[in-house]
Structure 1
C-alpha cells in the first residue's frame, strides 16, 4: 500500500504535463521561440509597472486622514475630553506602542542597520510577529472601547481612517 502513494510533487508534475500536452494540441508544436517571446513580454510589463507609493488611493487616504484628524478635533479630544474611558484608552495606547516598537525594531534596526532580510525576521525573533499581531488587535479593541463615548458608532471608522493615513505616511518613507 505504501508503494501506491503519490506525493504532491508527482501530482504537480503530472498536472503540468497534462496542461502542456493540451496546450500543444490546441496551439500546435511550432512554438520554438514561444518562451523567449513570453519572457520578453513579461519583462516589459514588469518594467512598466514598477511599484510607487505615490498613487491616487494613497493620496486619498492621506487627505481623508488629515480631514478626520482636523474635523473630529482628535488631538484635543484625546487630551482633555472627560467622556473618554481612560483605562481602556491607556491600555490601547500601550498595546499600540508595543506594536510600533516591534515594527521599529524590525524595520529600522534589523533591516536598515543590521541588513537582515525580511524573510529572516521570523528566524531572528520568532515570537515578535505574533506578539505584534495580538498587541495590535488588542490595542484596536481597547482604543475603540475607550473612545466610544466620544464618537459612538463613528469610532471604528475614525480610527481606521487615521490608521490608514499612518500606514500610507510610513510607506512614503525612503527605503534604505
Structure 2
C-alpha cells in the first residue's frame, strides 16, 4: 500500500524543503518588522529625510521601478506588432537593463546608508540589510 506522501504526489523531502523555505521567509519578514518597530525606522526616515541622499534615492528607485515595469509589462504585452515576444530572448530586446538596474540598486544602497547614518551610525548597513531581506521575502511569498 503506498504511503500518503506518494499518494498525494509529493515526497517528504520536498515537503520539508517547502516548509523550511516558508519558515525562512517568515523569519526574515518578522525580523524586519520587529527591527523596524524597535529602531523606529519610519520616524528616522521622516526626521532625516532631507538633502541630496533622499532625492538620489527616489530617482534610483523610480529608475528601478521603470526597468521592472518595462521588462515585466511592456515587453511581453505591448510590442509594436501586438504579438507576445519570446521572453527567453529578452536580452536582445533590452540589452543593458540588468546592468542599469544593478548600478541604480548600488547607488540606492549607498544613498540610503548616507541618509540614515545620522540616526543609526555603524548599525545602519545591518539594519538596512535585514529590512531589505524582509522586503525580498515578502515579495517572494506572492
> Could you say whether these structures have the same fold, taking a TM-score greater than 0.5 normalized by the shorter chain as the test?
yes
Q: 2: distance between equivalents of 1:98 and 1:52? A: 34
TM-score by length of 2: 0.72
Q: 1:91 to 1:70 in 2, by over 3 A?
A: same
Count, aligned residues: 127
SS in 2 for 1:160: helix
1:112-148 CA distance string (max 9 Å, x none): x466555332222112111101000011011111211
Partner of 1:106: 71
Instruction: Tell me, yes or no, if structure 1 residue 66 matches structure 2 residue 47.
Output: no
Q: CA deviation at 1:156?
A: 0.6
Partner of 2:62: 97
Q: CA deviation at 1:94?
A: 1.9
Question: Which aligned runs of 4 or more in structure 1 are off by greater than 6 angstroms?
Answer: 44-47
Using CA pairs below 8 Å that are at least 6 residues apart, which structure has the higher relative contact order?
A: 2
TM-score by length of 1: 0.60
Q: 2: distance between equivalents of 1:56 and 1:163? A: 17
Choose 1 or 2 for highest CA Rg.
Answer: 1
Q: CA deviation at 1:172?
A: 1.4
Q: CA deviation at 1:47?
A: 10
Partner of 1:147: 116
Q: CA deviation at 1:100?
A: 2.7
1:16-56 CA distance string (max 9 Å, x none): xxxxxxxxxxxxxxxxxxxxxxxxxxxx9999638859511
Q: 2: distance between equivalents of 1:49 and 1:163? A: 27
Q: 1:86 to 1:124 in 2, by over 3 A?
A: same
Q: Is the 8 A contact 1:62 1:165 kept in 2?
A: yes
Q: Is the 8 A contact 1:93 1:143 kept in 2?
A: no
